[in-house]
Amino acid sequence: MKEYKLDRNHFEALTLQEADEKWHDYRNLDWKERLEIVLYLNSIAYQYVGQPPPVLDRTAFEARKLRDE
Structural domain spans, the chain: 25-51
The CA distance from 46 to 48, in Å, is 6
Residue 1 has pLDDT above 80, yes or no: no
Residue 68 pLDDT: 64
For the chain, what is the mean pLDDT? 85
**20-50, pLDDT tens digit by residue?**
888 888 888 899 999 999 999 999 999 999 8
- Among 27, 26, 28, smallest CA distance to 40 is for 26
DSSP 14-69: --HHHHHHHHT--TTS-HHHHHHHHHHHHHHHTT-TTSPPPPP-GGG-----SS--
Alpha-carbon span 30 to 37, nearest angstrom: 11
> What's the rounded Cα separation, in Å, for the pair 51 and 62?
28
